[in-house]
Amino acid sequence: MIWMTSLIILIITSIMMTICSMISKKTFMDREKMSPFECGFDPKTNSRLPFSLQFFLIAVIFLIFDVEITLLIPLIIIMKTIKPLMFSIITIFFILVLIIGLFHEWNQGALEWTY
C-alpha cells in the first residue's frame, strides 16, 4: 500500500514538473537578460569578479566559532544543577578547545588576508 502510494505521488509530481517546464515562458538563453546593465552601454570590464578564497575561509571560521559560542549558552543553564568544580572543569575544557582551534587556524595561515 505504501509503495503504491509513493509510486502514484512520484508519477503525479513528475507529470506536474514536466507540464510546468513545458508551458513556462522563461528562456534561459536570453542574452539581454543575462548581460549586466551599465547605463545602456556594454560594460568595460567583466562584472563577475572572482570570489576571494580568503574571505570565504574567514567566513567559515567565523561560523564555526560562532556555533561553538552558542554551545556555551547551555552551560549557564546547567550551572545551577551541577557542582561548581565540575562546571569549572567543563567550561575551561570547552574554552581551551576553542583557543586551541583558534591557534591552529592562526598557525595554518588561514587568518592571514594576504600572503
Q: pLDDT tens digits, residue range 13-33?
A: 999 999 887 887 665 566 666
Domain count, the chain: 1
93 lies in which domain range?
53-108
The predicted model scores a pTM of 0.46
72 neighbors 94 (Cβ within 8 angstroms)? yes
95 occurs within a structural domain:
yes
24 occurs within a structural domain:
no
9 occurs within a structural domain:
no
Stretch 90-111: mean pLDDT: 85
Higher pLDDT, 26 or 97: 97
pLDDT at 73: 82
Please choose, from the candidates 91, 86, 57, 59, the residue with its C-alpha nearest in 3D space to the C-alpha of residue 74. 91
61 occurs within a structural domain:
yes
The model's pLDDT over 43-75, given as tens digits with 9 standing for 90+, comes to 566 666 677 777 887 888 888 878 877 887 888
59 occurs within a structural domain:
yes
DSSP assignment of 54-78 equals HHHHHHHHHHHHHHHHHTTHHHHHH
Higher pLDDT, 57 or 85: 85
With 60 as the cut, is the pLDDT of residue 38 above it?
A: no
57 occurs within a structural domain:
yes
27 occurs within a structural domain:
no
